[in-house]
Copies of this chain bind each other. A is one copy, B any other.
Amino acid sequence: MSRVGFVGLGTMGAPMAGHLVRHGFDVVVWNRTPEKADPVREQGAHLAEDLAEMGRECDVVMLCVNRTEDVAACIAAMTPHAKPGTLFVDHSTISPAGAREIHADLTSLGFSFLDAPITGGSMGAQKGTLTIFCGGRHEDYDRALPFLRAYAKRPEFVGEAGAGQMMKMANQIAVGGALMALCESLAFAEAAGLDLAQTRELLAGGAAGSWAFDNYGPKIIAKDWSPGFSVKNQRKDFGYCFEAAETVGAVLPGTEVVDQLLAELDAEGHGEWTTAALFEVLRRKSAG
């Protein structure tokens, strides 16, 4: 059986690698902070000494790191040692243009690449119920599928190289807008003297209803700003959204408003708060 590598054992990556082990794959892991590999090593994964070893040892390597440059750097450290035909699958949310560049570079070197950003949150990673938006060649998607099924309820092929990241951008635009709808509505309701819990519950059941109303609404009422999905990560993704929108000529007037408001939290050092704290920004702008 082919060995599968997993680079990046953060909140998402660690449970994803764990699912690969539990599904019986021969798993090699690597993380910048090696201690984070302890739990998945105890489950049976092998910790690579460096990315060179990871490149040598694996036929398929998943990555779940942070920014475009992190993905590029990790891949550059593996390719000089990797076997021809090695498939790299990137689960990070990065720039679509960056993903296309990495795809072109790897293809020219005789390797394969899928951009495969994930949604479903830390809970989805733990439960193995993630959705994965896969861009690249369909044959590479087919090759990755047995591994992806270990942690995804819904791996989905969405188009050529970069399309996975474009789909993730479309998702983040809609997520940001739904957050704005929720927070602006509840901040207004509070200023108007309405009962917030009653407002959330009544509106959630009708044409205003959304995943955000169901999941972020209760956090807002409890004034619980623990992440969840952090302001910093949402803004990182928005940066890629704006870059991608410029590339394809789309306009994002709503996303711009959300980003400006979240920037206020970021500037105050609350980048680690949940994005639902957008409510706080709107609330204190109220005179009421």
The number of chain A residues with a CB under 8 A from chain B is: 70
Q: Which residue of B lies closest to A135 (CB)?
A: B194
Q: For the complex, what is the distance from the CA of A186 to the CA of B254, rounded to whole Å?
A: 13
- Tallying the copies of this chain within the complex gives 2
Report Cα–Cα, A215/B209, bound state, in Å: 11
Contact indicator B282/A181 (Cβ below 8 Å): no
Q: Which 5 A-B pairs have the closest CB atoms?
A: A177-B181, A249-B287, A174-B208, A210-B210, A174-B185
- Beyond A154-B202, A158-B202, A191-B249, 14 additional contacts (C-beta under 8 Å) are A158-B198, A163-B193, A170-B186, A170-B189, A170-B192, A171-B202, A173-B184, A174-B181, A177-B180, A178-B207, A188-B252, A207-B211, A254-B257, A257-B257
Residues of A within 8 A of B (CB): 96, 119-121, 131, 133, 154, 156, 158-159, 163, 166-167, 169-171, 173-178, 180-182, 184-189, 191-195, 198-199, 202-203, 205-213, 215, 229, 241, 244-245, 248-255, 257-258, 261, 282, 285-288
